[in-house]
Amino acid sequence: MRDFEFLSPTKIIFGRNSEAKVGREVKNYSRKILLHYGKGSIIRTGLYDRVVKSLKEEGIDFIELGGVQPNPRVSLVREGIEICRKNGINFILAIGGGSVIDSSKAIAVGVPYSGDVWDFYAGKMEPKTALPVGVVLTIPAAGSEASKSSVITNEDGWYKRSINTEIIRPRFAIMNPEVTFTLPPYQTACGAADIMAHVMERYFTNDKGVNFTDRLCEATLKTVIYNVPIVLKKPDDYDARAQIMWASTIAHNDLLSTGRTGDWASHGIEHELSGIYDIPHGAGLAIVFPAWMRYVYKHNIERFIQFAINVWNVEPNFESPERIALEGVERLKRFFKDIGLPTSLSEANIGEDRLEEMATKATERGELGEFVKLKKEDVLNILRSVLK
Ligand code: NZQ
Ligand code: ZN
C-alpha cells in the first residue's frame, strides 16, 4: 500500500428537499453569483424554481447562464468567464450533472486567469486560483460534485481534455435523490456505467496490499449493480436512487484511491469517442471498458479472478482460472447490455473511419494507463476489437 494524504472537503448535504438549503450554503461565500445550468431539465422539473426561491430568501443576487450541453464546450465557458468579470461575480452555482459542474469549474479557473482558459486543458498552464463552486446535483454519474476534475471539449479540433486540481473541488454538493426520479432510463444507465468505471479504473492497480480499498470498491460496484435494475423498473424508488447517488460520489471523490494508483486508460480512450462523436460518456465507457479488460487481463489474471468472483459471483471452481477471469468481463458486458447500453462501436453508429485519429489523439501526450501502458497501436487494437 502506498503512502497517502487524503482531504476531500466537499460538504455533502443529502436528502429530501435538500435544495431548500442552497441559499444558506451560498451565503457563506457570496451575495452575487452565476447560476449555471443545462438545456432546461431543471426548469421542466421545477428544481429551478425551488433553488431560486431559496436564494431569494437569503437575499442572494444571481445572473443566469443556461445552455450547457452534454460534453460541455469551451465556447460557453468563455462566455461565462466574461459574464463573471463584467458583473463582479465571485461564486458559481452549478445546477445539473457532470457537464454543468465541469463547465462551472472551467469558468472558476478562467475568471482569475489573464490568458485563455483552454491553456489549462491543453496542458500549457497550471491553474493557481479558482472561484469557489457549489453544486445542486441532478444526475448520479460523473462524480464531479466532489471530484478534482473538469472535462471540457474544444470545438476547434474536437479535443476533449481534462484538468485535475484540488482547487476546483466543489465547496458543497446538495444531493436530493428525488430530483433523479425524472432521469430518462438511458441517462440512468449511462450514469451507472460511469460510476462503475470510476471504481474499476481504481480497482485495476499494480499496487499490492490494498485489500481494504479493494473491498470498498467491490461494495460500491455491487451497490450499483443491485440498485440500477430496481430504478429502471421503478424510477421513483427513493432508497434505490439514494444508494446510487451516494455511490456516485464515493466512486470518484478519491476515497477509493487512497494508498493505490489507478489506471484511467479506458477514460482516456472514451474521451476521444465522446469528444468526436458526442455520445454520452457512460455509453462510451460501456463499449470501451470490457474491451480494455479483454486486452489486458493476462497482465494480472489473479486480480481479474478476484473481480469475477467477488463482484459477479462467478463460481470459484468455474471451468479454469482463465475462464473465471473472462466470465467476469462477460458478466460486466451483459449487465451493460441488459440496462440498455451499447457494447460495440456499431451500436453507437461509429464506424472505422476515425479509429486511427482517436488512437493518435489518445496517446499524443504519451502512453495511456498505469495498470498496463498502452501505445497508439494498443488503443487501435482495443477499438478495432469492438467495431461489431
Ligand atoms: O441539460 P439538461 O437539460 O440538464 O439535461 C441533462 C443532459 O441531457 C439530463 N439530466 C440531468 N439531470 C436530469 C436530466 N434529465 C432529467 N432529469 C434529471 N434529473 O441528462 C443529460 C446528461 O447530463 P450530463 O451532465 O452530461 O451527464 P453526466 O453527469 O454524465 O456528465 C457527463 C460529463 O461529465 C464528464 C464526462 O466526460 C461528460 O462530459 N466527466 C466528468 C468527470 C469529473 N469532472 O470528475 C469525470 C467523468 O469521468 C467524466 O469524464
Ligand atoms: Zn467517467
| pLDDT (tens digit per residue) in 69-98 | 999 999 999 999 999 999 999 999 999 999
Band of residue 99 on the pLDDT scale cut at 50, 70, 90:
very high
| C-alpha 55 to ligand 1 mean position (Å) | 23
Question: How much is the pLDDT for 357?
Answer: 96
> What average pLDDT score do residues 180-191 get?
98
pLDDT, one tens digit per residue, over 273-284 is 999 999 999 999
pLDDT at 73: 98
pLDDT at 264: 98
Name the residue ranges covered by the structural domains of the chain. 11-179, 183-385
Nearest to 229 by CA among 242, 220, 241: 241
Ligand with an atom nearest the CA of residue 149:
1
Read off the pLDDT of each residue in 139-148 and give the average, rounded to a whole number. Answer: 98
In which band, very low, low, confident or very high, does the pLDDT at 337 lie, cut at 50, 70 and 90? very high
77 pocket-lining for ligand 1 (C-beta < 6 Å): no
Ligand 2 centroid from CA 98, angstroms: 9
CA 252 to chain centre: 7
- pLDDT tens, residue by residue, 211-267: 999 999 999 999 999 999 999 999 999 999 999 999 999 999 999 999 999 999 999
Residue 207 near residue 261, CB atoms below 8 Å:
yes
Average pLDDT of the chain is 98
Strand ranges inside the chain, DSSP E: 11-14, 32-37, 61-65, 92-96, 133-137, 149-154, 159-164, 172-175
pLDDT bin (cut points 50, 70, 90) of residue 168 is very high
pLDDT tens digits, residue range 28-59?
Answer: 999 999 999 999 999 999 999 999 999 999 99
Pairing outcome for strands 172-175 and 159-164: unpaired
**What is the dihedral sign for C-alpha 183, 189, 193, 196?**
positive
Q: Helix, strand or coil for residue 172?
A: strand
What pTM did the predictor assign?
Answer: 0.98
Ligand 1: which of 65, 151, 167 to mutate, most ligand atoms within 8 Å of CB?
151
User: Which class is 11-179 in CATH?
Assistant: alpha beta
The whole-angstrom separation of Cα 308 and Cα 324 is 6
Cβ–ligand 1 contact at 202 (below 6 Å): no
Q: What is the mean pLDDT of residues 117-137?
A: 98
Show the cell assigned to 144.
464531479
Residue 171 has a pLDDT of 98
Phi, then psi, of 374 in degrees rounded to 5: -105, 135
Query: Which residue's CA is the nearest one to ligand 1's atom 34?
Result: 98
Phi and psi angles of residue 65, each rounded to the nearest 5 degrees, phi first: -140, 100
- As to burial, measured by CB atoms within 10 angstroms (0-12 exposed, 13-18 middle, 19+ buried), residue 364 is exposed
DSSP string, 270-312: HHHHHHHH---HHHHHHHHHHHHHHHHGGGGHHHHHHHHHHHH
Task: Give the fold, CATH level 3, of 183-385.
Answer: Dehydroquinate synthase-like, alpha domain (1.20.1090)
**Contact between 64 and 51 (Cβ < 8 Å):** no
